[in-house]
Amino acid sequence: MSTYYNKVKDYLLNLEYNIVQEDTAEELFVVENPDIYKSLLIKNREIIHGAFTLDESGKKVIFRDTLQLENLDQNELEATLNSLEMLLSEYSEEIISFSKL
């Protein structure tokens, strides 16, 4: 184990990241930052159609909108797609930065 391992671990803890798993042999950390979930939930308030959700594993963020197929019209589908386009154009940098964590 290199001296950098403990240094990086200390940095992560100081930055208030939760170390979920670590492998000293590989010098690998798996971290989570609850502020990401908070940011996504706050962003949900601004989304007109659909919302950010987590998949069953809790590891992937997805965009979801539930539409009733029985009475779906083109305007409803278009509104959902427009909402997603607006979301991606306004929030894409943050989403990309979250994906790199």
> What distances in angstroms separate CA 58 from CA 77, 85, 87, one per listed residue?
27, 24, 21
Arithmetic mean of pLDDT over the chain: 80
How do residues 35-68 score in pLDDT, each as one tens digit? 877 777 888 888 888 888 877 887 777 778 887 8
Give helix 34-44 / helix 74-99 axis angle, nearest 10°: 160
Cα distance between residue 14 and residue 60, in whole Å = 25
Amino acid at the residue 98: F
In a 3-state reduction of DSSP, which class is residue 12?
helix
